[in-house]
Amino acid sequence: MSDSDRPSMRDSDRPGAAPPWRATVLTLYPEMFPGPLGHSLSGDALARGAWSLEPRQIREHGLGRHRNVDDTPAGGGAGMVLRCDVLGAAIDAAADDSRPRLLMSPRGKPLTQDRVRALADGPGAILVCGRFEGVDERVIEARGLEEVSIGDYVLSGGEIAALVLIDACVRLLPGVMGKHASGVEESFEGGLLEYPHYTRPREWEGRTIPDVLMGGNHAAIARWRAECSRALTRARRPDLLGRDEP
């Protein structure tokens, strides 16, 4: 009986298998995980052990009877700041290895597909989710946290940003997308946006599928798709094009 005949075997139990990609999330809202990642392809992959998820409650390291985690900003101003001693202890208890330590933060380097691919190729990540006004700067320095942003807007907490980052990584893990894996042709892979897709019906509300896609000439289809990709990228995201592109 081959391994593929054993549906109950977890990916990580296969002889010679690499340890699964591992995400540890430090948060005040561990119940938000896996959330949407428990469904569809990422959920199936989680259930069969192709990746693992460990949400950790920061408040377990909170201070006093009320397990306080935050305090008012030094120098005054609105909101609350996550304490460095609390977060430092939470990180020390969770981060027992050399995985990248990421702090979800609108001040961070914007997340890109290249960075996602590099993270997916590694052992996993430790993700720290901020809340309130953010976290005490000293813990960022002392624990070597790399700030990562998912875009130029402000969320109310890092949890949704962490879900975004984990989702983008998990779908690249071997076997997660199965035959859906289109890798090389997707937006950003190869530096361009993806060409448009169509499926049945051939005509809908007077709109038809471009003839070239129905003609069966694979070279012509590949040319058409490449031209569409370039035109879309030029129109919508000229910043993605190489310097010598018009």
What does the binding site for ligand SAH look like in residue numbers (CB under 6 A)? 104-107, 129-131, 133-134, 149-151, 153-155, 157-158, 161
Measured from the CB atom, the residue of 81 and 193 that comes closer to ligand SAH is 81
> HSE-up of 34 (CA within 13 Å, CB side)?
21
Instruction: Work out how close the CB of 39 gets to ligand SAH at its nearest, in angstroms, rounded to a whole number.
Output: 22
Nearer residue to ligand SAH within complex by CB, 20 or 130: 130
Question: Which strand ranges, in their side-by-side order, compose the sheet holding 51-57?
Answer: 51-57, 21-27, 124-129, 101-110, 146-149
Burial (CB count within 10 angstroms: exposed 0-12, middle 13-18, buried 19+), residue 112: exposed
φ, ψ of residue 124 in degrees (nearest 5): 140, -155
Nearer to ligand SAH, 64 or 153 (CB): 153
In the complex, minimum distance from the CB of residue 103 to ligand SAH, in angstroms, rounded to a whole number: 7
Give, for 237, the enclosing helix (H) or strand (E).
none
Comparing CB distances to ligand SAH, the nearer of 95 and 181 is 95
Tell me which DSSP letter residue 217 carries.
-
Q: Which of 11, 12, 6, 28 is nearest to 158 (CA)?
A: 28
Amino acid occupying residue 193: L
Minimum gap (Å) between residue 35 Cβ and ligand SAH: 16
Beta strands in 14-141 (DSSP E): 21-27, 51-57, 70-71, 81-82, 101-110, 124-129
Closest CB to ligand SAH among residues 45, 163: 163
The least CB distance from residue 28 to ligand SAH, in Å, is 11
Minimum distance from residue 74 beta carbon to ligand SAH (Å): 14
For the CB of residue 104, give the shortest distance to ligand SAH in the complex, in Å. Answer: 4
- Cβ-closest residue to ligand SAH? 130
User: With respect to ligand SAH, which residue has the nearer C-beta, 29 or 224?
Assistant: 29
- Strand, helix or coil for residue 219: helix
The span from the CA of 18 to the CA of 9, in Å, is 15
